[in-house]
Structures are given as C-alpha cells and as structure tokens.
Structure 1
C-alpha cells in the first residue's frame, strides 16, 4: 500500500511538470518572434526585398525561433531600441555608434559588401551633381543648394559634413541652402537630375546601384571630387568607414545573440555577393562624431573658451586690433597734447604783451560774432522745432482729454506717450542738425527709400495737424536715394507746413494738399501742390532768400534751409505756379540710385 501511494505521488508530480512545461517555455519567450529592426534608407518595401534571405537563413539556423523584419527611419529605430520593441538592429555605422551610447547596442557581425574592398572600408558619402555642372571641388559648393537625407544620417550627411568642413565649407552656414528630404534616399538623386538642387549627399554605391537597375542613366549624374579607393566598385567623395553592423541590444538574451552570431558568420554569400564578417572596428566613426560634436558628443557644442575662439576668432581679432589702435591713438594724443601745451605756454608771453592794445577791439569783435551765431542758430532752432513741439502738445492734450474723460485704456495712452518720446527725440535731432549745419558739418549720407521717408513725414505731419488733408498722387513704389532721412523729413514737413499755411490764409484749409513722387530723368521728383493764394511774380525771385517771408509771423528760414539741404545731396529745389488754378507747387529732386 505504501509503495502504491509513492508511485501515485510520483505520477502526479510528473504530470504537473508536463503541464507546466509549455507555460515555462512561453514565459522564457521562446515562442515570441525575434524582432529585427532595419534602417529603411531605401523605403519599407526594400527592407523585405533585400533582407528576406537573411531572415530565412536565421530561421533555418536557429531552430524553434521565428524572425520578423521591422522597417524604421532613424528616429523610429532609436525609439524602438530604447523601448525594447526590437531585439536586434541592422543600421548604418553612425547610427550604431549612437545606439551604443543610447541603448547599449553591441555589434556581433559586420556586413561584407561586394562593392567594397573590405568591411572595414565600405561606407562613405557621395556628393552627386549633374554631369554638366560647373563644379569640380568641394569648396565650390559654398552658396549652393544641397540636398541631404537627415542631420543624423551617417552616409547621407554626416560623413560629407566632415569632408566639407575639412575643405573649408561649413555646411550649416556656408551653403546657400541645406535641405533634408528624408527617406527614401533615391529621391535625392532624382531631384538633382531634375535640377531642383545643385548637389545631393547620399551613401556611396547608391548611384551605381540605381544606374545598374535602370532608374538612372550613367550620363545624368557624377560624383563630385571622387577620392581614390582601391578595390572599391563605387566612387566616394569622402574617406571610408566600416560597413553596417548587425547588433544586439542590452535586453537581448545572450544565448540568442550567440546563436544569431554563429548563424551570420556561417551564412553563405547571397547571389548579389553579400555576406557577414566578424565585427569591425568603429573607432573612426566615434572620431567623426567627436570632430563634428554630434551624437554622443553633442555636449561639446556647449559654450567654452575654445568654441568661442573658433567661432568668433575674426571678431576677437578685430576687437584686439581696435584695442591696440585705441592704445596707440591715446599715446599719440597725449604726446600731441603735451607738445601743444608747451607751445601754448611759449605763446602766452607774446599774447600778454599784445593783450592790452588789442583787448578792446577783440572784445567787440568777439561779442559781435557771438551775437550773430547765436541769432542765426536761435532763429533756425525756433523755426524747425515748431513742428515737433506742436506734435508733442497735440499728443499731450489728447492724452489729457482721455484722462479727464475717464478713458484710461492703456494702448492709446501708451501710443501717445511713445509719440511724445519720438517727437522729443526728433526735436533733439533737429537741434543737433541745425548746429551741424551752422558749423558746416557734412550731412550723413545713407541709402534710403524716399517713399518710406515721405510716409514717416506724413505721419508726423498728420499728428501735428490732424485737420490737414493729404492726397498722394502716383504709386508708392520704392525710390532709392542717397541722403539723410531726418533732413529729408525736415524739408518735407517744411513744405507741407508752408502749403497748409498758404491754404489757411486763402480760406481753403479743408482742401487736400497733393503730394507726388515721380521718376524724372535719373532722379526722383517730389512735388507738394497747395491751393493757397500763390505768389506775385516779384516774390518768386526772392522766394529762397534767407529771412524773406510772406507770413506775418514767419522768419524766412524754412525754404532757405530746405534748399541748402537738398543741394547738399545733389538735388534741386524749385517752385512754380499752378497755371490757371490757385496755389503753388514746390518740387525737390534727388538722384535716383537705381541709375549709375
């Protein structure tokens, strides 16, 4: 009886073990498919077509396991490796080195291509241009439109970027346009052939493969600046790096990795000549990343003295030169001041002997000169400051009325405050310009759009005289001139103010002042036409004389100063009656900078 019970317990134990065996096997993941993530640089369809023989060989060599091929772009494959959505990866050499740092990838084999001399020198970049393009060297790509796959594409951009930098062309700053088109890579070559780009960056052998398949004609494209690569069947514009690796990830079972590695190394060559070799040395790829400061070495792009020196050495050299120049100038000025001081001390003795007899006469002459200069500047300042001060008063009164009415919206008050500040600054500029004119300082010449300057003047005039009506005649096309914007605004505002005063004196203030801008024989002509009372014939002869005016409170300086300003910039200022109509037209011209 006791023996029977023992046999019964053994039978139940064996039965339980047999029942639990499938569950244990499922728990180990033996029934789950082995997922191989492939970088689909030619597109998803090409993954199944190009790698299906490998999948079948692995299934035959690793009994009981099913293998599936999953296609990804580079970002998707990185994400899948991090999230453990794949067990192995087949990817580019550069992407593999990035996965070493990001996902613990470990190469177990390196692809051996029939197109390359060896697996260690197989991958490079081909910079492809049209066969008839006038390009012979990499530096000539500066300013050109270049297509590439992706900033993270190893053969499709990064290798070529290193070669361009070595040739003195920074792809991020010196190219006319750098465009990344993404996968599949074939469309880059098709775009270059169609003339939609000057050059395209692809991994080597893609051009030759597309020519062999009939997608391209050998006479369409060529590789720019090919580098000699003995034993290689493809032209390259760069040095060569190890071919694609087959890599296991951190979470991949070691036993499975060993079985797959053995299967890869015993796999026969495909009909196309591909096979697998022992893992290559990818130190050269790591060096490339370090030089470009990308991938695992992107942190090197952070600011440091070395990066600042390399990026801004020109500006730093200029600053140093300016500093040295300033120091030399300071020493020279001190020397001249010292020498001049000695001369002045020597001349003081002579001056003292002559001071008594010349004191009275000199005092009278100095007093007269000071009064003349002061009177001229005071009159000019009073005349020219009238417009900005009137605008300041109008804006201030408008803001006060809003505040009294309880309308405290921030936007109108802020706009009024900004306009007051702008007019104050303008008043200061007017004072500086009048002083410069009195001292006969040269005007500041800059390339300007005369139409834009006129628009600014109109805005200031409307702010100072809200009741005035302005009518623009003609198109407001750009009108390039060489002049000083502030002084041209002064002239325009003066002409508009004179026109408004003339219409007011004639009782026609509500009529519009016509302003025109026209091209005229190599110059731009600005005309201001009013409907005032006009001028008598004898008044035309003295219109531009200083201190001549027809206004009761006028000073007679506006048109005189305006004429001086316009003639400084090579233009003319003139006046003419409006024919049978009432009023006057004042015109000024400036040379058209579109003409030589």
Structure 2
C-alpha cells in the first residue's frame, strides 16, 4: 500500500524509548521504520534511540516528530509537552515485554541471597534504572510500599539505560536487589542466555498466572504519539495505515490508544503524577485563578485589621482615662474624708465650746472661792479637798471632750478590724452628734450582746455621715437600731429620690446646692472594705428613709 506524497514531505524523526540500549532498539524497530517509509514514497522516517536523559531533552527541543514510549514515561515529564496520541502497541513479534498490554516491575535478588520477601529490603541496596522510569523503578517502588517499605528506607543506585546494567550490578553482588521492567528477564533468556533467570530469584509476593514473572503489573502498553508541530493530515494517514489489516505479521501491530487508569493511580499514590501538585503549587494555581477574590479578601482583611487596631487603641485609651478618673476619685475620697470630718467638727465647734465653758467656769468659780476663804482665813482642809476634787472632775470631763475631737479629726482610718460592741459605738456617735444638734432626737435600739467585726473609725464615720445626711433632709427623729447582722439608720426626713434609689452609689451626683455627691459613695466603699453591704430604702408607711448596713455574723 502506497500513500500519495503531500506538500509537507520531509524526513520525520521517530524517537523510541531504548530500555535495552540503542543497538537493540535499532534492531527491534528499524524494520517497522523502513516499512513506514515505504508507505510514503517521498517521505523518510528516521529512528532516534532515547535513553532516560535524552528522552526529556529531545522532546523539549521539538526536534522529534513522533515518539514511541511507555505512556507512563510520557506522563512523568517534569514539564507538560503537547502531543497527540495516535495508537497503542498491541504486540511486537520480537519483544515479549511489549505484548498483552502489560507493564510493571519485577524485583530480583541473587539465588543464594537470604532475602525472600519484599518487606526484607528495608535499608538494603537496590539497583534501578532511573527515577523517571516506570517499569524500571516506580512500579517496583509501589510494590515495595504496599509491603511497608518506603523510598526513604532504601539505598538506591540508578544505572540509566540499558536495563541490563541493573542485572549486572546484582550479579556482581554490588547491590542486594534489582528492580527490572516486567518480562525483561524472559527477553534476556531468549536473546542473551537461556537459563539466566536460574541465577536469580523473584521476591515474594509476586503476581500469579501472569505471562512473565513480576511483583506488580498494569494494563498499559507502549504508545505512539505525534508532537504538536507534526501536520494533522500526516497523523491521520499514519493512524489509518497502522490500524489497517495490511501490516505484515513480522512487524509490530497497533490498536487504538488504551486507557492507563491503573498505572496513573499508582503515580498518584507515589505523589509523582504530573497533575498532582504539592500544596504550594496548588495554592499558587488557586490564587492565580481567583486573584480578584483574593485581592478583595485581602482588602477586607486589611480593613478589619485596621479596625481592630483602632478598637484596641480606643479601648486602651478609655482604660487609661478610666484609671486616671479612678485615681482622681480615690484622691477625692481621701480629701472628702478629711473635709467631711472637718466640716462636721466646724458645725460642732460652738457646741463643743459651750461644753468646755461649763467645766472651765466651774473651775474658775472654785478658784475664786478658795481665794476668798483663804483671805478670810476660813479655808479648811476639807473644803480645799472638796474643791480640788470637783476641779479634777471638771478637768477630766474637758479632757474627754478634747480626746473625742482628736479621734474624729484623723485623716485615715486604721484599717484595724476588731470586735466592737454596737451599742457602745451608737452611744459615742450620739454624743458626738448631740454637741451641736441639741434639737435632734436620737433613739438607740439594740442589745449589749450584739457585736460586729469592723474598723471602729470607719464604722463611726459611716454612722455620723448618715445621721448628718438625715439632719440635712430635715429629720427630727433618728433611730439607731442593731442586731447581730444589721445596723439600721431610720429617720423621718424627706427620704431619697427615685434616681438615688435606682442608682444609689454614683459619685458626683447630688441634690444639695453645695454638695459634692460623694458622701454616700465613700460610706459604701468603706462598708465594702469591712465586708459589709449598704442598702438605701424609703419607709413605706410614712415619710422618712432607712439605711441598712448588713454583714455575715461571725462566731
């Protein structure tokens, strides 16, 4: 059968994978190349044997027009190369490994080796063709991984083509095992030396009932492809010629391209498939595909980050302002604590002066009387003793008044918690208040058995401040009532406003024209410092207010 020569007639280079070396490849394929050239009168087809190193470079250089190779070899190219699949090899009359659409690996050891199974090859020396060859390495590696032996567990030595180098290393005991393409041992027995396989043994487990001995096989025969620069019209005519029934019996026969799913699955499991990217490559591809969305996402993230930073800044500034305000409030409380005492003392000055005038006037009277009796020579020892005793009593009363004033004018409480008799505290507060508020009626209710653990100065300050607040609310009658867990200050004044009851202890809020609004706030904080709670109420059945101090009683 002759084909008319078209205008694109020239010499076409056919690259053929050469696992057995260039000379063997020439011998096996040259008759088919010559037959192909005879079909196209003015065209010439030239054979180019390809080892593993030349394979990639030759395809990337675009100097080849057609390639015959294992399909896995084409898939393993590090960079994708455009080609068109024309036909899959059905059988080759002189090459056993090319028949029955099977590829794979067989892993051999020397006959006298103690190694019998694939799993025993951990940390052993292994000979293989190339990391880019499927039958001469990758398929065997897949078989080993199925037995728990990974690539990192092996000491691998690559020989490149021809594949017979792998067997030579094993025969010379330079390695412990050799990975060889499926059916290669059988071909060597036919072409090199009969019975050569008797010097070696195949490791277990192996594939039963196969045409050749091997550890792993797949359905994927050699493939004829046309490179992208080859005219499509020529490709069609070649395919038509190869699939016709006129191909001589002593030449390779072809069929339509076959699928290679099983072998490709192994590449995926090994992480060697060209469409299988590492995480970084996949991320780059994904970003390049959706770059606009990533840009939008980046802008949104940047805005959120800026918003977060601003929020943190504002929160910290607010916290700083709050801390400053709290420090100012604490300082104001201390100043108010002293000012409140001084204010109370100022109101009571006239009453205290009146109280001191009485003992002083009495002492002056006794002194004048003693002088007159002494002048009249009527002073007796008894009269002198009586006058001196009375003067001593008046001096003691004055000292007590001055002592109470000095105790109430201290700036800071002592923070000393001690057991206090509540009735006694009430009496001292009543004495202090009555110095200037003679019109005020203060009733004390309670038992001498009622005690409280508290700071004496703080407790008195709270009671005095509450009573003075009642006085300023026009109260005429005040009740100081106590039991083992509460103190109540009850008055008949104007009472608290609704706002004061709802928000009782907010500083700087007052209904008094000259007030600061921190008196009750200071009292509530002092109560808390003594593990007490403070509550404000209005009387329900009459005019007046009630302040309740409560605590958990102790044994």
TM-score computed with the length of structure 2 as normaliser: 0.46
Max Rg structure: 2
